[in-house]
Amino acid sequence: MQNIRSLIFFAAGGLALVAQAAGPDTPSPAILLPKPAREEGVVRRSEVDPRVHQYLLPARVLWVSPADQARVEKPEILLQASSGQITLDNPKACILRHQGKAPGVLLDFGRELHGGIQILVSGSQNNQPVRLRIRFGESASEAMSELGGGENATNDHAIRDQTCLVPWLGTHEIGNTGFRFVRIDLVSSNSFVQLKGARAIFVYRDLEYQGAFRCSDERLNQIWNTGAYTVHLNLQNYVWDGIKRDRLVWIGDMHPETMTINSVFGAPAVVPASLDLIRDETPLPKWMNGISSYSMWWVLIHHSWFQFTGDLGYLQQQRDYLKTLLPALVARIGPDSQEQLPEGRFLDWPSSGNKKAIHAGLHSLLILCLNSGAELCQALAEDDLRAQCLTAANRLRKHVPDHGNSKQAAALMALAGLADPALLNREVMAVDGAQRMSTFYGYYVLQARAKAGDYQGCLDVIRTYWGAMLDLGATTFWEDFDVKWTENAGRIDELVPPGKIDVHGKYGNYCYKGFRHSLCHGWASGPTAWLSEHVLGVQVLEPGCKTIRVQPHLGDLQWVEGTFPTPLGVVQVRHEKQADGTIRSQVKAPPGIKIAGQ
C-alpha cells in the first residue's frame, strides 16, 4: 500500500518533504470546533477542511535573472531545509537586489502540486514590507510568461500571476492553484529582500493507495502511477476537472476519474458528494452542467459506483431523480429511432466539429445510459421504469449511425453493441495508432479495443500516447494531447531552447489554447483504470465486488502484479507468463468475495 507521501517521494526521485502534516485520523485535542448556531434565522456552520496542508522544498533552481541591475545572491539557500520559523538571527538567506531592474528566481518543485507558496522574509530595505510578483506555472515557460498575448496565459479560475506585499521578519502565504514552477520577482524598486525560504504549500486529501500495479514494463508502471496521481490531485473540495483551470465538478468528465478512483482509492466520500452536488444544483428538466450528455454520464457514474460499492441505501437516495430523468431521456428518441438530444451536444473537444461523430456518439451514449438505468431500476425494484428503459434502448438499436471516422464515436458504438467491435477496431480505432486520440475519450477507445480483443494494440497506444507526455516532462496527464505536438518540442520542465517549440504555449484548441491548457486533468487518467481491469485482469461482476473475474491479458508483458481495492478488502494478484506461453496466476481475495470460475 502507498500513501501520497511515499508516492511523491519515489516518483520525484526523493522530493524533500519538509513537514509531515497530521493525517485525517490524527486527534487534535487542542482544536475546539464551535457547534452550529442560529442567529437571526440564519444557520451558521463550521466545517473542517478534509485536506492536508504540507510544506515542500523546491527540488532545484531552474533560472535566475541576469545580474545587470538585478542581482540574485545565493539562490541555493532556497533548496535547504530550515525551521520554517523567522528568528532574529537568520544568517542564511537568498538575497534579491533591485538596482534598476526586477531580480527574479524560478523554482522547480519537482512535480505537479496543488496549493500555493510560503515566503519567509528575514530582511528587507529599511525593515519595510516589499512587493513581490509571484507567478505559478504548470510548465517552466508558463511561470515565465506574461498575461495575455498569443500564448494566452490567464488568471482564469485561479490567480496564478499577482503581486503581493510581504512583511519584514515574517512569512506570507499566497496561491491556490495547480503548479510545479514558481517564479519570484522583487518589484519594489531600488530595494532588497532576504528570503530565508520559499516552500510549496501542498494541499491534498491524504488517501491511501490501496490499488497498485507493477509489470515487466517500467513505462506502463509510470503511466499507471501518473494517472493515479493526476486524479488524486483533483480530489479537492469535490472531484475537480483540473487544479489550475476547470476547478469545477464537470459531471460528464467524472466517469474516467471515478473508474480510476475505484481502482486506486476504493470508495472515498468525495465521489458521492460530487454526484449529489450536481444533482441538487440541477433541478429537472435542466441538464447537468447545461449539457444533455452530462446528465447521461451522471446515470453511468451511478451505475459504476453501485457496481463497485453495492451501496443500495445511497442508490435509493437517487430514486426520485432517476424516475424523472430517465423518462425525459426516453422522450428524446424520435419516431425514426434516432436520438434527438437538444443543443449543447457534446462528446469531447476534439470531436466538436464532426456532426456525424457527435450524433453517433450521443446515440450510443443514450443506449449505454438506458441500459445502465435499467440495471439501477432493477436494484430499486422499479420494474415499470426498467422495462421502459430496455424498450427504448432496443428502439435506438434499430438505427446504426455513421461514426464519421471518429475514434471516439466508433468506441461508443462498439460499447453500445451497435456494430462489430473488431470491425470498428480495424477500420477506425486501430488506424494510425495513437493519432486522432483524446485524453478524455481515450479511455473508451481502450475499452472498445479490448472488447475487440486487441489488447496488444491497447498497450502500444498507451505507451505511445500517454507515454509521450511523460517524455515531455509531464508528471500528470493533460487536458488534451496530440502526438504530433512532440515534433521538435521542448520539455515542459525546462526553459525552451532556441529552435524548439514551446509545447505548452503554442498548442491547444477550443477552450484550452496556449498556457490556459490544463496539464493536470483527471479525465486523462483512463490507462490506470484500464490496466487494472484488463492487464491485472480484475473485473467486478456483482454489486459490491461480491463476485469478481480475474482474467489477465499480458500481451508482450512477462509478468504483472498488484492489488485492487473492494468494500470487503484488498484483492492481491500476480500473473506470470510461462515458457509455453500460458499464464500462471495467484489470486488472494478477502472473505466474502467469490472469484468467478473457481
In the chain, where the domains are located? 54-204
Residue of 11 and 122 predicted with greater confidence: 122
The predicted model gives 64-81 an average pLDDT of: 94
pLDDT tens digits along 329-363 = 999 999 999 999 999 999 999 999 999 999 999 99
Q: Taking every pair of C-alpha atoms in the chain, what is the biggest distance, in angstroms?
A: 81
Q: Supply the pLDDT for residue 598.
A: 73
The predicted model gives 86-109 an average pLDDT of: 94
The residues facing 171 across adjacent strands are 120
Q: Supply the pLDDT for residue 3.
A: 57
Distance (Å, whole) CA 534 – CA 530: 6
- What pLDDT band is residue 181 in, cutting at 50, 70 and 90? very high
The residues facing 214 across adjacent strands are 561
Name the least confident of 108-112, 299-303, 346-350, 469-473: 346-350
**Beta strands 130-137; 170-186: pairing state:** antiparallel
Q: Is the per-residue pLDDT at 407 higher than 90? A: yes
Share of the chain above pLDDT 90, in %: 90
Q: Is the per-residue pLDDT at 472 higher than 60? A: yes
- What pLDDT band is residue 16 in, cutting at 50, 70 and 90? very low
Query: How many C-beta atoms lie closer than 10 Å to residue 519's C-beta?
Result: 33
Q: Supply the pLDDT for residue 597.
A: 78
Tell me if 102 sits within 8 A of 186, measured CB to CB: yes
Question: What single letter denotes the amino acid at residue 152?
Answer: N
pLDDT tens digits along 419-443 = 999 999 999 999 999 999 999 999 9
- What pLDDT band is residue 29 in, cutting at 50, 70 and 90? very low
Q: Supply the pLDDT for residue 11.
A: 44
pLDDT tens digits along 356-399 = 999 999 999 999 999 999 999 999 999 999 999 999 999 999 99
The CATH number of 54-204 is: 2.60.120.260
pLDDT tens digits along 529-585 = 999 999 999 999 999 999 999 999 999 999 999 999 999 999 999 999 999 999 999
- What pLDDT band is residue 1 in, cutting at 50, 70 and 90? low
Predicted model pTM: 0.93
Burial of 396 by CB count in 10 Å (0-12 exposed, 13-18 middle, 19+ buried)?
Answer: buried
Distance (Å, whole) CA 390 – CA 326: 11
Q: Supply the pLDDT for residue 37.
A: 45
Q: Where are the beta strands (DSSP E) in 192-332?
A: 192-204, 212-215
Q: Is the per-residue pLDDT at 2 higher than 60? A: no
The predicted model gives 41-60 an average pLDDT of: 84
- DSSP string across 326-380: HHHHHTTB-TTS-B---SS--S-GGGTT-HHHHHHHHHHHHHHHHHHHHHHHHHT
- What pLDDT band is residue 67 in, cutting at 50, 70 and 90? confident
pLDDT tens digits along 127-141 = 999 999 999 999 999
- DSSP string across 540-592: E-SGGGSEEEE----TT-SEEEEEEEETTEEEEEEEEE-TTS-EEEEEE--TT
Q: Is the per-residue pLDDT at 15 higher than 60? A: no
Q: Is the per-residue pLDDT at 452 higher than 70? A: yes
Q: Supply the pLDDT for residue 193.
A: 97
Q: Is the per-residue pLDDT at 417 higher than 50? A: yes
Q: Is the per-residue pLDDT at 19 higher than 60? A: no
- What pLDDT band is residue 526 in, cutting at 50, 70 and 90? very high
Q: Supply the pLDDT for residue 188.
A: 95
Q: Is the per-residue pLDDT at 25 higher than 70? A: no
Q: Supply the pLDDT for residue 41.
A: 53
Q: Is the per-residue pLDDT at 47 higher than 70? A: yes
